């Protein structure tokens, strides 16, 4: 991107952050969209979260993908074009393409071009000669696949239980859109965290070392830096709580005392104990995920899990 385009993109992003913050902080129950957690510092902290002893999803999913690589390759068949939604550092994409039979291409899709480069490099190294065709797009909206893919069978890849960070209606909408983008006959390899004991879930999102707390609180620092807000981050603390009715872990920033915050010329008041809901991580029982997929046009073909049944990896088929 040229310097001018990059500045326009940064300005548009800042305007969107401010608009989302004004809307979220004006709501009767304050909230902020979780996508804003992932600036450069947020991405660095998230990377650290994936290595925490309490945070089982990354290592469990990686173990399933490693141990079932042969079964996945066989079910998918040869010649697949892999389309990964939000590839992060490309570690899981590299693991997947290494195991597949002669994949046709790897297409990482993300809004952040700088992350796409890292993922593309990592996958190219794992599978020398594989065409890597990054797409800069917000995968929560419709986007087009590169025409160069031709008729190769599509394999969507959406690991990390990112599906759980959507509200169930948004998750269904994502799956329907992915069905349209990837087309009839496509498959989708989807990682989804399973329902389990509250103590295990709450520890995974509120670790002893405080990394997840720093990740959550970084949102307030970001609003100060990029949106000109005057949050006192020391006036808030991170809380993760399992909501059994909605089967999700909710992350909140809790006001430790009454306070006011200015943002874009407006003042927002917090009572002591009032929270900003920053993220939810929905956990899916297998039957619920199967139904969600079916309602979006995907038939569940296989499900793999680990011996402790912590995490599930699904192969869905668009019939």
Footprint of ligand TRP (CB under 6 A): 37, 49, 57, 160-162, 164-165, 205, 212, 215-216, 251, 279, 281
The separation between CA 16 and the C-alpha centre of its own chain, rounded to angstroms, equals 19
- Closest distance to ligand TRP from the beta carbon of 83 (Å): 19
Residue closer to ligand TRP by CB (options 130, 206) is 206
- Closest distance to ligand TRP from the beta carbon of 162 (Å): 5
Residue closer to ligand TRP by CB (options 99, 160) is 160
- Residue in the structure block whose two tokens are 């089982």: 56
Q: Tell me the residue number closest to ligand TRP, measured at CB.
A: 281
- Closest distance to ligand TRP from the beta carbon of 191 (Å): 9
Residue closer to ligand TRP by CB (options 285, 319) is 285
Residue closer to ligand TRP by CB (options 49, 104) is 49
Phi, psi for residue 312 in degrees, rounded to 5: -125, 145
Residue closer to ligand TRP by CB (options 162, 181) is 162
Residue closer to ligand TRP by CB (options 60, 68) is 60
- Closest distance to ligand TRP from the beta carbon of 66 (Å): 19
- Closest distance to ligand TRP from the beta carbon of 61 (Å): 10
Which DSSP letter does residue 272 get? T
Non-local (6+) Cβ contacts of 53 within 8 A are 207
Strand partners, 106: 82, 132
- Closest distance to ligand TRP from the beta carbon of 243 (Å): 14
Angle at 198 between CA 194 and CA 204, to 5 degrees: 75
The string of DSSP letters for 208-267 reads TT-HHHHHHHHHHHHHHHHH-----GGGEEEEEEEETTTTEEEEEEEESS-EEEEETTEE
Which DSSP letter does residue 146 get? P
SS3 annotation, 51-114: CCCCCHHHHHHHHHHHHCHHHHHHHHCCCCEEEEECCCCCHHHHHHHHHCCCCCEEEEEECCHH
């Amino acid at each position: 991107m040229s310097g001018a385009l990059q500045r326009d993109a940064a300005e548009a992003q800042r305007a969107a952050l401010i608009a989302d913050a004004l809307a979220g902080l004006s709501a009767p129950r304050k909230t902020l969209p979780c996508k804003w957690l992932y600036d450069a510092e947020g991405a660095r902290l998230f990377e650290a979260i994936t290595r925490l002893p309490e945070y089982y999803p990354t290592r469990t999913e990686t173990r399933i993908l490693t141990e079932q690589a042969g079964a996945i390759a066989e079910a998918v068949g040869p010649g697949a074009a892999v389309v990964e939604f939000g590839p992060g550092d490309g570690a899981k994409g590299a693991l997947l393409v290494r195991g597949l039979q002669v994949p046709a291409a790897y297409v990482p899709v993300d809004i952040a071009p700088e992350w796409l480069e890292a993922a593309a490099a990592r996958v190219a190294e794992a599978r020398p000669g594989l065409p890597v065709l990054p797409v800069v797009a917000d995968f929560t909206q419709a986007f087009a696949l590169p025409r160069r893919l031709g008729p190769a069978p599509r394999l969507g890849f959406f690991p990390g239980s990112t599906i759980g960070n959507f509200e169930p209606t948004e998750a269904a909408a994502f799956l329907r859109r992915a069905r349209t983008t990837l087309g009839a006959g496509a498959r989708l390899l989807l990682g989804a965290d399973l329902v389990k004991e509250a103590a295990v879930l709450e520890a995974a999102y509120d670790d002893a070392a405080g990394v997840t707390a720093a990740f959550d609180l970084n949102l307030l620092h970001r609003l100060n830096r990029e949106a000109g807000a005057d949050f006192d981050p020391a006036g808030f603390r991170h809380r993760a709580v399992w909501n059994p009715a909605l089967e999700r872990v909710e992350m909140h920033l809790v006001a430790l005392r009454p306070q006011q915050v200015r943002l874009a010329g407006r003042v927002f008041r917090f009572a002591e104990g009032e929270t900003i809901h920053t993220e939810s991580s929905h956990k899916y029982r297998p039957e619920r995920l199967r139904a969600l997929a079916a309602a979006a046009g995907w038939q569940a073909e296989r499900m793999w899990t680990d011996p402790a049944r912590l995490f599930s990896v699904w192969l869905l088929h668009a019939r």
